[in-house]
């Protein structure tokens, strides 16, 4: 999945770690799924520009050697990156296959009219950018003002202006949209395992996901394009996500697909599971 138009690559993984390239920067970070042995020698890992670990609290080593921020291109989309105290950078490249699917699906729909897409728990906007690039009108929602600003910066760098920015609690927003009678052709959501809203609201995926999907159904168009659900929570397997989608949207088995999200590198590098996805994609009504 790596090519000339991608500045990201998985270099190696193993012993609970992953070694990745983000443009000019090489980083080593934790990854619990990597239970096998690394393929590359220790000196390759030691040559990383910086590393992050959680063994004694969240801690970077070599962070001072990194730029304050830098930009990479993934499948033609620009992303502004920066290190955070939690080890994140502002991009989840395991979503790359889903971004491609969103672009293709929205582009096909946009031949008739621009689809309306809602992106919940939207982080730095990878899915929002993918949909907007394909001609969709996007509503991007996250509870963090900082993340919404980060996503807006990404959109500006990509020349995208069809995105509406919302800082709010997802459930409160969905209830208001339902009362207003607003409907969306497509919904993207990547709920956190645990999250906290701007006013102290908490979100626990095992407790709240079913309610979230019920609220999504209330704002989904009568003849929808899709609902794309992803999660990085260990217990949310592809089958779990598929089951909750089928139940929430009364979907038949052939309307729902699911799978693993993978970080991928050059041929010979082990693909690294990094969360799961499921999507409801009904056939258009005739």
- Strand (E) or helix (H) holding 82: none
Instruction: Please state, in angstroms and rounded to a whole number, the distance separating the CA atoms of residues 231 and 192.
Output: 7
pLDDT confidence of residue 111: 96
Distance of CA 280 to the CA centre of its chain: 17
Q: Which CATH number do you get for residue 247?
A: 3.40.50.150
- In the structure encoding, which two tokens stand for residue 44, read together? 């390759």
Q: Do the domain assignments include residue 204?
A: yes
Q: Same domain for 163 and 243?
A: yes
pLDDT confidence of residue 285: 60
Q: Which of 37-46, 101-110, 231-240, 276-285 has the lowest mean pLDDT?
A: 276-285
pLDDT confidence of residue 201: 75
- In the structure encoding, which two tokens stand for residue 267, read together? 């041929």
> How many domains is the chain partitioned into structurally?
2
Q: Give the pLDDT confidence of 155-171 residue by residue, as tens digits.
A: 999 999 999 999 999 99
pLDDT confidence of residue 198: 63
pLDDT at 200 over 80: no
Q: Give residue 27's domain range.
A: 8-81
Q: What is the largest CA-CA distance in the chain?
A: 60
Burial class of residue 37 in the structure, from the number of CB atoms within 10 Å of its CB (0-12 exposed, 13-18 middle, 19+ buried): exposed
pLDDT confidence of residue 4: 47
Q: Same domain for 97 and 76?
A: no
Q: How confident is the model at residue 259 (pLDDT cuts 50, 70, 90)?
A: very high
Q: Does the global pTM surpass 0.85? A: yes
Task: Specify the residue for token string 């996007």.
Answer: 138
Q: Same domain for 240 and 102?
A: yes
Nearest by Cα to 102 from 133, 80, 78: 133
Distance of CA 244 to the CA centre of its chain: 19
Q: Give the pLDDT confidence of 24-76 residue by residue, as tens digits.
A: 999 999 999 999 999 999 999 999 999 999 877 778 998 888 999 999 999 99
Q: Which CATH number do you get for residue 26?
A: 2.60.40.1180
Task: Specify the residue for token string 């089958």.
Answer: 239
Q: Same domain for 135 and 188?
A: yes
């Amino acid at each position: 999945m790596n090519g000339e138009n991608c500045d990201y690559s998985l270099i190696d993984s193993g012993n609970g770690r992953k070694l990745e390239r983000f443009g000019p920067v090489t980083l080593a970070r934790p990854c619990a799924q990597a239970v096998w042995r690394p393929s590359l020698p220790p000196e390759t890992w030691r040559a990383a520009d910086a590393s992050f670990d959680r063994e004694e609290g969240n801690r970077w080593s070599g962070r001072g050697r990194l730029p304050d921020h830098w930009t990479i291109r993934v499948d033609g989309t620009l992303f502004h990156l920066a290190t955070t105290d939690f080890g994140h950078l502002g991009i989840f490249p395991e979503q790359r296959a889903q971004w491609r699917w969103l672009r293709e699906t929205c582009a096909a729909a946009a031949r008739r009219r621009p689809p309306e897409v809602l992106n919940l728990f939207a982080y730095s906007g990878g899915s929002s950018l993918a949909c907007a690039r394909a001609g969709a009108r996007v509503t991007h929602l996250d509870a963090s003002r900082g993340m919404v600003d980060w996503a807006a910066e990404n959109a500006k760098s990509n020349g995208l202006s069809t995105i509406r920015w919302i800082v709010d609690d997802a459930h409160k927003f969905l209830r208001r949209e339902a009362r207003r009678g607003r409907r969306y052709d497509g919904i993207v959501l990547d709920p956190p395992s645990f999250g906290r809203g701007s006013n102290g609201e908490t979100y626990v995926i095992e407790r709240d996901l079913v309610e979230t999907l019920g609220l999504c159904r209330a704002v989904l168009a009568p003849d929808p394009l899709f609902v794309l659900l992803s999660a990085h929570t260990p217990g949310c397997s592809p089958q779990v996500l598929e089951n909750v989608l089928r139940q929430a949207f009364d979907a038949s088995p052939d309307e729902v697909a699911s799978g693993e999200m993978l970080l991928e590198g050059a041929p010979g590098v082990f693909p690294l599971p990094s969360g799961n996805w499921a999507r409801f994609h009904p056939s258009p009504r005739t």
